[in-house]
Amino acid sequence: MARLTGAVPLALEAGGHLGPVDVAYETWGELDEAAGNAVLILHALTGDSHASGATGTGAGGPGWWPGIIGPGAPIDTDRFFVVCPNVLGGCQGTLGPGSVAPDGKRYGSRFPIITIRDQVKVEALLADHLGITRWAAVVGGSMGGMRVLEWCVGEPHRVERAVVIAVGAAATAEQIGLCSLQVRCIRADPAFAGGDYYDNAEGPHRGMAIARGIGQLSYRTAAELGVRFGREAQGAEQPLKGGRYSIESYLEHHGDSLLRRFDANSYIVLSEAMNHHDVGRGRGGVERALSRVEAQVSVVGISSDRLYPVGLQHELAALLPRSPEVRVVESLVGHDGFLVETAAVGAAISEALA
C-alpha cells in the first residue's frame, strides 16, 4: 500500500479533486539498479492487484492471470520487476467509493466522476514512488488495455514497450450502451439508496447480480454458450415447472460470486470511466493522439470477441506509428479469451517482450 498524495490532492479531468490517494499494489521479481526492468500490469474491470500467486508480495491463490507472470513465464520474474496496482475507483485497497473520506464518512454517492486518464495519473505517481522513471513494458487487456493506451499517449517518454489486448482507441456506442444498462440495473435496485448503502443491512445485490449477468453475456460468445449449455436444464430442475435452464444458473453464479468480492459503487464508477475512454479527447482526435506514441506497441485481439471486435484492434494498429501487425488469438470464448487462452496470449506477450 502506498499513499501517493498528501497536502496536494489529485486534480481530476472532469473537475474536482481527490485525496489523499492510497494505492494497493503487488510486485514480483527484483528491480535492477538502473530501475530499467520494471513491467506494469493493468487489470480489467473487476480485477485487482493480485494478478499472480507466483512469488509475489501478495498472499492467496493463483491470481486473475495465472501462467502469465512468474519465473520463466511470459512475463518472466527472473528478468523483470513486475508491478500490478489496484485501479483508482476500485474496491480492493485503492481509493474508491467505499473508502473513508477525510470527513470520516465513506464517499458513496459523493465519489466524483473519474476517467482512464485520472487512473493513469495515479499509476504515474506510483511509478514515481517506486523510483521508476520509465517502464520496460506496460501490459493490459480490456479496461487495462485502455490504460496501456493512455500511458502510451499521455506519458510517451515513460513507456518503452506496450502490449494492448482486446480493446480499441475509444469506447463504441455499443460498449457504452452495454455498460450503461448494467449501471441502470444497479441504480434501480431499491437497496442502492442513491449510492449510500454502506451502513444499511443490505446493498444493491439484486441489481449487481443482474448487471454482472449482462456483462458476462457480452464477454462470451453464442457459440461457446451453445456448446457448454445448449437448452439443458440445471440439474434435475424442470424449466416448464418453474425451474432454471443451465445457462440461467451459470449467470446467477457469476452474479453471486462477484457481489461477494466487489462493491457496486466501484462497478458503476469503473464502468462509466470505461465509457469515457477516448484517447483522442482534447488531443485533436484519435489519429493525432496516437501519433504521440513512442513505445514499441504490440496489439492483440481475440478472434471471437464481440464486445471489442478484432476490427477495433486493426483500426488502432493502423493509426499507431510503425503500424504494427495485429496478433489474433483464436478462441471460442470471446472477450474473456484474453484471460482464458493463457498459452496463446502468453506467446504474444513473450514475443512482444523478447
SS3 annotation, 16-70: CEECCCEECEEEECCCCCCCCCEEEEECCCCCCCCCCCCCECCCCCCCCCCCCEE
Same domain, 11 and 98: yes
Catalytic residues: 142, 305, 335
pLDDT at 185 over 60: yes
The CA-based dihedral angle spanning residues 210, 14, 41, 349, taken in that order and rounded to the nearest 10 degrees: 90
Question: Which positions ≥6 away from 233 have C-beta within 8 Å?
Answer: 239, 243, 244, 245, 246
C-alpha 52: how far from chain center: 15
Give the count of domains, the chain: 2
Same domain, 156 and 187: no
Please tell me the pTM assigned to this model.
0.96
Grouping H, G, I as helix, E, B as strand and the rest as coil, residue 136 is coil
**What residue numbers bound the domain in which 290 lies?**
2-172+278-353
DSSP 8-state class, residue 245: B
Same domain, 41 and 139: yes
Same domain, 83 and 204: no
Read off the pLDDT of residues 251-286 as tens digits, 9 standing for 90 and up.
999 999 998 899 999 999 999 999 999 999 999 999
pLDDT of residue 299: 98
Same domain, 168 and 182: no
Residue 319: pLDDT band with limits 50, 70, 90: very high
Residue 92: pLDDT band with limits 50, 70, 90: very high
Across the range 38-58, mean pLDDT stands at 89
Distance CA 120, CA 189 (A): 31
pLDDT of residue 64: 95
pLDDT at 55 over 90: no
| Residue corresponding to grid cell 500490469 | 41
Same domain, 105 and 164: yes
Structural contact between residues 123 and 83, judged by C-beta atoms closer than 8 angstroms = no
pLDDT of residue 61: 80
| Residue corresponding to grid cell 459523493 | 110
Question: Domain ends where: 255, 274, 293?
Answer: 274
User: How high is the mean pLDDT of the chain?
Assistant: 95
Residue 191: pLDDT band with limits 50, 70, 90: very high
pLDDT of residue 19: 87
Express as a percent the part of the chain with pLDDT over 90: 94
Q: What is the CATH number of the domain that holds 72?
A: 3.40.50.1820
pLDDT at 5 over 70: no
Structural contact between residues 112 and 16, judged by C-beta atoms closer than 8 angstroms = yes
Question: Domain ends where: 274, 303, 322?
Answer: 274
Strands 10-11 and 17-18: antiparallel
pLDDT at 57 over 80: no
CA neighbor of 40 nearest in space, from 143, 154, 163: 163
C-alpha 79: how far from chain center: 25
| Residue corresponding to grid cell 457469476 | 254
pLDDT at 59 over 80: no
Question: Domain ends where: 222, 240, 274?
Answer: 274
**Residue 20, φ and ψ in degrees, nearest 5:** -70, 155
Same domain, 143 and 253: no
pLDDT of residue 1: 62
pLDDT at 247 over 70: yes
Distance CA 144, CA 132 (A): 19
Same domain, 32 and 155: yes
Across the range 184-198, mean pLDDT stands at 98
Across the range 171-190, mean pLDDT stands at 98
Same domain, 284 and 150: yes
Pull the grid cell for residue 42. Answer: 493493468
